[in-house]
A = this chain, B = another copy of it.
Amino acid sequence: MPFPDLVHPLLDAYESSVTLPEDFSAFWASTLAEARTFSTEVSLVPADTTLRLVEVFDVTFPGFGGHPVKGWLVLPRDHAAALPLVVQYVGYGGGRGFPHEGLHWAASGFAYFRMDTRGQGSGWSTGATPDPVGSASQIPGVMTKGILDRHDYYYRRVFTDGVRAIDALVDLDAVDADRIAVCGGSQGGGIALAVAGIDNRVKAVMPDVPFLCDFPRAVRVAGRDPYLEIVRFLAQHREKSETVFETLRYFDGVNFARLSKAAALFSVALMDDICPPSTVMGAFKAFAGQEKSMVEYEFNNHEGGGPFQEQEQMRWLSARFS
């Protein structure tokens, strides 16, 4: 059946059963504080490209543990004033790719930064950022990397990198610190939600068909990877279900949404069997920002709105930040 999850009106009524750990904010505050004890030196190296309308910088900044994280910063050439900034996080398996991929934000007059996801970047686009931390026994992929302890979990490092990227860029002359947005599709949307939840500098968040939301339902409803990495892990480690879901509470988009003060433009696809619509709805319903809207794509799977949604975002954010 094309619809793998709830449809209207059940979808509208859905609320996630994920609960917020008491020490959720403390956990993230201490995590960020610890990360900020490492060097904050940021390297911006001009990249050699044929692109005449923009300037491109190969950025390296210290992420979680001070580990070097890469990204492309793309600026409209000859811009006049401090620009609004869009930070994009990328989808599962991908990396920052090439600077000439995804020029629409810079072409629309934004400072644009596309961050590598550590250890990823070999699946459908290339990355250049190691994750120097190993793991206990895990399923191939990152979903169960360090999952038995929230301090070891892979996404603790990634979400921290996401905040540290803003740390690295916020003081640049080209960036207007009062107009910072984060965005991303799928995993990128999940990271954006997390960063918007723990970093108040973020004024706008645009999660597309976000991943990493409402884990307890997601792993039981998703029809395809990567949520199913967790299912496969539990299929072998049959006794560790409670431990796993306890860890995941600290990384659930539903909980980050509860803390966010940004404006939000979500999207959801009703035939999405990778990030099932109810899990996106779970985060959207919980989202605490005063202004939020959701664009729905009824007949799409995980590709969601694609360029339609990009156009929505460019219009929404241009209006908001102009």
Chain B, residue nearest A273 (CB) = B1
**Is residue A155 within 8 Å, beta carbon to beta carbon, of the partner chain?**
no
This protein's copies in its complex = 6
Which of A94-102, A164-172, A196-204 is the interface stretch?
A94-102
Q: Which of A200-222 contact B (CB under 8 A)?
A: 219-222
Whether A159 is near chain B, meaning CB under 8 Å from some CB there, is: no
- In the bound assembly, the distance between CA atoms of A144 and B121 in angstroms comes to 12
Contact (A4, B2) CB under 8 Å given A107-B107, A233-B122: no
Residue pair A50, B300 in contact (C-beta under 8 Å): no
* Residues in A223-252 with C-beta less than 8 Å from chain B: 223, 228, 231-239, 241
- Contact call A2/B137, Cβ cutoff below 8 A: no
A39 at interface (Cβ–Cβ under 8 A)?
no
- For residue A315, which residues in chain B have a CB less than 8 angstroms away from its CB? 50
Task: Give the distance in Å from the alpha carbon of A202 to the alpha carbon of B18 in the complex.
Answer: 46
Instruction: Say whether A136 faces chain B, with CB atoms less than 8 Å apart.
Output: yes
Q: Nearest residue in B to A109 (C-beta to C-beta)?
A: B52
Tell me the A289-322 residues at the B interface (CB within 8 Å): 297-301, 303, 305, 307-308, 310-311, 314-315, 318
User: Using Cβ atoms and an 8 Å threshold, which residues of chain B touch A53?
Assistant: 53-54, 76, 106-109
CB-based nearest B residue for A146: B130
Partner of A107, one of B100, B130, B232, B238: B100
Is A31's CB within 8 Å of the partner chain B?
no
CB atoms of B100 and A104 under 8 A apart: yes
Q: Does A16 count as interface, using CB distance less than 8 angstroms?
A: no
Query: Are A308 and B238 in contact (CB-based, < 8 A)?
Result: yes
- Closest B residue by C-beta to A234: B299
Q: Which of A1-59 contact B (CB under 8 A)?
A: 1-4, 7, 49-54
**A135-B126 contact given A53-B107, A107-B107, A301-B235, CB 8 Å threshold:** no
Please tell me if the beta carbons of B108 and A137 are within 8 angstroms of each other in the complex.
no
Contacts of A54 in B (CB 8 A): 53, 107
Q: Report A104-155 residues with CB < 8 Å from chain B CB.
A: 104, 106-109, 119-142, 144
B241, A298: Cβ atoms under 8 Å?
Answer: yes
How far apart sit A119 and B134, CA to CA, in the bound complex (Å)?
A: 8
Residues on B with C-beta less than 8 A from A126 are 137, 236-237
In the bound complex, residues from chain B placing their C-beta under 8 Å from that of A238 are 297, 299-300, 305, 308
- List residues of chain B with CB within 8 A of the CB of A140: 93, 123, 140-142
> B1 to A52, Cβ gap below 8 A?
no
Q: Tell me whether A122 and B222 are in contact (CB under 8 A).
A: no
What distance in Å separates the Cβ of A234 from its nearest Cβ neighbour in chain B? Answer: 4
10 contacts between A and B (CB under 8 A): A1-B4, A52-B107, A53-B54, A53-B76, A53-B106, A54-B107, A100-B108, A103-B107, A123-B139, A126-B236
Q: Lowest 3 A-B CB distances belong to which pairs?
A: A140-B140, A121-B137, A234-B299
